[in-house]
Structure 1
Amino acid sequence: MKTILLPTNFSKASQKALEFAIEIAKKADAKIIVAHAYTLTSINDEPFPVVFDNVLEETKEYLKSQLDSVCAYISSFKTDSGKTINAQYILQYNIPEEEIKELAVSHHVDLIVMGTNNPAGLQNILGSTVQNIIGNTNVPILVIHEDTPVKPFSKIDFAIEELSEKIYSVKNIIELADLYNAEITLLHIEHYARSFQEYEKISESETVSKVLNSVKKVTNYDHIKYKTVLSDIVEEGLYKSVNEDKADLLALIYNERNWLDELFHKSVIKSVLKKFNIPVLILHSKNLHQ
């Protein structure tokens, strides 16, 4: 992990996302790119265009000073290897959500860290929704609620559709997990179609052991386990697992064609962010390593 993109609007939520980005950069020796979008209502009648231009320029200069301060703050920290964290900013007027993808690609971004303080509307800090941003970039997105306490990721719950030897998508969180030597739990939510005894047998079966060993071999990471949670409602199963595991991070795969797609419905994300003060890492299925 070399580059972290941090969109900001200087809010409390953005500040919390900044703190998380700094902690990750410390571990990864990564640089942080701070991005801000701004807009003003356009007025076409004279003499307002002149006034508008003046206000626009004043706004731009003010935002530059704010971003300079943020970058200076970031650079006041050192990585675990003793290097000063490299920080730069990008200031754009009226960035459309599609441009986030271009920004991430042009700067070879490895992780986007975003703050949110409005679960009800899921408005992100660049004037779009978290869900739309997910649909416009393949880069992993770490969503941070403003009340989330900053702490290391020692336990990660990773929701999966099924347990099979094709679960190589776990490689996409290994880099982050390895920074903290975190334990990864492959979490499968299953409906009440079978008895608890049957699921206990499945969890302890040779198939599970074989697949886990295969995944560990492919990822070269040993701190991985598997669990099945019985629940007819996916988000309730997630809540149960996160509480039981005392997870510090919940990882989800964005895939429009599988059951996890419902996790990205506004009401479900609102519920996840509202009930748990832990970060949510969103991986896009189109960019998963095979």
Structure 2
Amino acid sequence: MKKILIPIDFSEHSEYALQVAATIARKHKASLVVLHMMGLSEAVLTKDESQEMFEAIYYMKLAEKRFSEFLDKDYLKNIHVETTVQNYKEFHEIQRVAKDFDTDLIVMGSHGATGLKEVFVGSNTEKVVRTSEIPVLVVKNRTNNFKMEKVVFACDFNMDFVEPFKNAWNFFKKIGAEFQVVFINTPEKFLSNQQMQERAFAFMLHSGIDTTDVYDTTAYYCDYRLENGIYNFSNEVEADLVVIPTHGRRGLAHYFSENVGEAIVNHSDLPIMTFKV
């Protein structure tokens, strides 16, 4: 891992993401790219050239001042940090910045407070997840001792998710993390043990990964709701991170049930990482 991109809006949640990114960067000797999207309005951009230039300079200087204050953190010492200000208004344009800077990971703060669906569906985070070709790590709360030693990859073994599974497995293999796969069995789409194991076997075989350990240690967990099951299992095994595959053209909405249960998911602090199909 060489570079990590952090889109910020100078909010508290942006700072949560920055601190996590710094922790990762320090451990893996990576650098940070901090992005602020100015998003100047069409009213500004359609003014006469001299006025447009004046206002653009003003907003740029303002962003630079805020960067200086925002990045004045002890945890950033001895970490190489680049800053960039872009006049983007659409969150899918973050993908362009990620490619320009050749980043390996995007870390974002989320204002979502009640479960996976609220973190993702209809949010700016979902817009980034939909378009990002590189992994996106979503941080909901301040995490002082962030680590990625044990991760849970939640998957229903749909063949569409083979590529994100392989990418996730390779990503965490490189950093030496324990990679735990779980299938959440719900009443709505109930499968027998044999059916789950057959799907898992076909999926792993198709993936072509060079180990049987992942299949042998795959967990099958029953719960009333998919979302509850993911977080309940992850907390039981004391995972540091939940990993989810996602389909870019549909976002994450299809992955979660409409009726989100209360339970532990509503206030879980677990960070979430997504890998796109």
Class of the TM-score when normalised by the shorter of the 2 chains: 0.7 to 0.9
Q: 1:162 aligns to what?
A: 157
- The structure 2 residue matched to 1:90, chosen from 56, 71, 84, is 84
Paired positions, count? 269
Distance in 1 of aligned mates of 2:89 and 2:74: 24
The answer on whether the counterparts of 1:16 and 1:148 sit within 8 Å (CA) in structure 2 is yes
The answer on whether the counterparts of 1:184 and 1:225 sit within 8 Å (CA) in structure 2 is no
**2:217 partner letter:** K
1:156 is paired with a residue whose SS is strand
- The structure 2 residue matched to 1:177, chosen from 172, 193, 202, is 172
**1:251 partner letter:** V
Q: 2:60 aligns to what?
A: 60
Change (3 A) 1:60 1:209: closer
Q: 1:237 aligns to what?
A: 229
2:232 is paired with a residue whose SS is helix
Q: 1:99 aligns to what?
A: 93
Structure 1: which 5+ residue stretches go unaligned? Answer: 78-83, 286-290
Is the aligned partner of 1:138 residue 2:136?
A: no
Change (3 A) 1:219 1:134: farther
Change (3 A) 1:123 1:189: closer
The answer on whether the counterparts of 1:25 and 1:85 sit within 8 Å (CA) in structure 2 is yes
Shifted more, 179-188 versus 275-284: the winner is 179-188
Is the aligned partner of 1:277 residue 2:272?
A: no
Distance in 2 of aligned mates of 1:36 and 1:152: 26
- The structure 2 residue matched to 1:250, chosen from 230, 242, 245, is 242
Shifted more, 63-72 versus 135-144: the winner is 63-72
Distance in 2 of aligned mates of 1:24 and 1:179: 13
Distance in 1 of aligned mates of 2:97 and 2:73: 23
Q: 1:80 aligns to what?
A: none
Distance in 1 of aligned mates of 2:46 and 2:99: 39
Q: 1:218 aligns to what?
A: 210
- Root-mean-square deviation (Å): 4.5
Change (3 A) 1:98 1:43: closer
Relative to the length of structure 2, the TM-score reads: 0.75
Q: 2:255 aligns to what?
A: 263
Q: 2:28 aligns to what?
A: 28
Shifted more, 105-114 versus 174-183: the winner is 174-183
Q: Deviations over 1:176-222 (max 9, x none)?
A: 53466332210101234779xx63x788x799799879979626987
Structure 2: which 5+ residue stretches go unaligned? Answer: none
Q: 1:16 aligns to what?
A: 16
1:218 is paired with a residue whose SS is coil
Change (3 A) 1:123 1:65: farther
Shifted more, 140-149 versus 112-121: the winner is 112-121
Distance in 2 of aligned mates of 1:136 and 1:29: 27
Change (3 A) 1:222 1:114: same
Distance in 1 of aligned mates of 2:195 and 2:112: 40
The answer on whether the counterparts of 2:129 and 2:251 sit within 8 Å (CA) in structure 1 is no
Q: Deviations over 1:133-153 (max 9, x none)?
A: 222221111001134454212
Q: Where do 1:95-134 residues align within 5 Å?
A: 95-119=89-113, 129-134=124-129
The answer on whether the counterparts of 1:148 and 1:278 sit within 8 Å (CA) in structure 2 is no
Change (3 A) 1:215 1:221: farther
Q: Deviations over 1:111-158 (max 9, x none)?
A: 10000124479699xxx6222222222111100113445421222110
